[in-house]
Chains A and B, each alone.
Chain A
């Protein structure tokens, strides 16, 4: 305790030096906080993107649209693909679909989509306008499996003359023998489906589709096995590429895999680059702190060598003297860190923006240059910032003092008193 108290009191021996050292240690701390805030902001941005981004792959039989009655595009994926894909690492969800076309008057045709009621209602070309919203009646439910029912787009409802008040009673009949230049006839009886809901999709082609339970579709079109489209969602955007690679290796030429490339690109370029730069900046700041502490503590040892020798002569133990020395070093770093934190609270946001704009943006792909303006780089003080400050304080104090401590321990009391 004595030596700790002496270590604390030693801080105040020269106020001018304390201010100078606090500034010298505070500067790299400030840089560290700026780099950490940039790294954090990019991480937050990435997390937001990950939540909103499409990390789902679409698979179809090679070179085929996968519609069971479409001329030249009727190839579908074998049923065992489902089990194989389910076994791939980082696959979070697999959704199989079956598709067919049915000719209509007034329009060329409507799309029939077989879907498991628990899965997403995916319209063909759904990326253009999002998924359907039920306008009248209800959506498909788990208990609808195997039932000859459908929810239809508002375009189909209009074509079939189904009004909202008819829902639950109205039916729609699919004539599988009818043909069209791109639709071939199936030697199957007509299928009558009860309409339980009408949806809107926001675009004409989307409204000309109808969803039926997958097993009802299989029964109607006599497709006991096989899959038109398989949607595969990875457990995170980072793993999307890995999942795609595994699927390509596993399925070879049997399937086309359509991947949302932009996710992977952002993940592997922008985020990773910024994180590396931020980590580099933090490392550089920490190294600068260590260098400053090293020279300050070396100066302290040289200046007070006789004092250290005297303390040894009076009976102070080496661990005690080292503890006092370390206390002084840690407090110096803490004062520097506190100074940096205050300055960061005042000027951190604009400076982080400036550093990001000048020092980070140039390393990103050109189409991410606008990121500098959109990132929220306002200073944030949370548990992570506190942990970084405390960790950096301890690291800089210990690493920077190591040489000085070695000198203290190595010298006999007499050598220390005579040390110059």
Chain B
């Protein structure tokens, strides 16, 4: 990493004055507002906040899925703001693994083929990617479901395939956006345990509504109205977040 610019030798992620502004017609939405953040290598970090607080936007900027409006985003020593599209594609392929709320498995590929997909993009040889994909699916306890299509798997199984796929290219950073949003609480607990385990080897950044799951993280970041809440104010923030989660669960019914 370029220490002089990112300012932290041990940090995997450094954000300096990052803002993200969307335009929706005439309306301007400030999703992120002057975020300064540093996240070190390894460990599970939970990003908690109410709906529309900007947590997913932050995750997408870190994962090179989107570009910031202003500020600097350093990840794994790369200043993402200046990378061209092809550079961002390579960065996503080599450095980041994504876990989505809706699993986002390719429907007409089997579990094994879904896990092999990122390795194909990275140019890994066919035998090697098959072996690695089988190992990863074994690690998430799906070695008997290799040839199943996503529609033939349960929600928990699909998310485990997605986690295996996120690890396919051995990324330094795994980003999970509400990974248990479509799962029951028991399955969600298992998924968080899996992510926690993955966090011992690399950095895992998880966006969640659920404080109970966030409590499993090594570090919890709170975000509200596009700004990170200073760690001293977390207790007050937790009350707000808990209320939001409760409201959200009630709305879900």
Contact = CB atoms under 8 A, between A and B. Distances in A.
Contacts of A318: 85, 89
Interface of B: 60, 63, 65-67, 85-86, 89-90, 92-94, 98, 100, 102, 104, 106-109, 117-118, 120-122, 165, 169
A414 B90 CA distance: 16
Contacts of A2: 117, 120-121
A309 B92 CA distance: 12
Interface string A315-328: 11110100000000
Contact of A314 (B60, B86, B93): B93
A414 B65 contact: yes
A314 B66 contact: no
Contacts of A313: 63, 65, 92, 98, 104
Contacts of A306: 102, 104
Contacts of A10: 108
Nearest to A1: B120
Contacts of B93: 314-315
Contacts of A13: 107-108
Interface of A: 2, 6, 9-10, 12-13, 306-307, 309-318, 320, 412-415, 417
A6 B108 CA distance: 9
A10 B120 CA distance: 17
A315 B65 contact: no
B65 A317 contact: no
Contacts of A317: 86, 89, 121
Given A6-B108, A314-B165, 4 more contacts: A311-B106, A315-B93, A318-B85, A415-B66
A412 B89 contact: no
A310 B100 contact: yes
17 contacts: A2-B121, A9-B108, A10-B108, A306-B102, A307-B107, A309-B104, A310-B98, A310-B100, A312-B65, A314-B117, A314-B165, A315-B94, A315-B169, A317-B86, A317-B121, A318-B89, A412-B65
Contacts of B98: 310, 313-314
Contacts of A414: 60, 65-66
Across the A-B interface, the 8 shortest Cβ-Cβ residue pairs: A315-B93, A315-B121, A2-B120, A310-B104, A414-B65, A413-B65, A314-B118, A414-B66
A116 to B, nearest CB: 76
A11 to B, nearest CB: 10
A412 B66 CA distance: 6
B104 A312 contact: no
A307 B92 CA distance: 16
Given A2-B121, A412-B65, A315 B92 contact: yes
A105 B40 CA distance: 128
A315 to B, nearest CB: 2
A1 to B, nearest CB: 8
A275 B50 CA distance: 69
Given A6-B106, A307-B106, A315 B90 contact: yes
Contacts of B169: 315
A321 to B, nearest CB: 10
Nearest to A315: B93
A318 B84 CA distance: 12
B105 to A, nearest CB: 8
A314 B65 contact: no
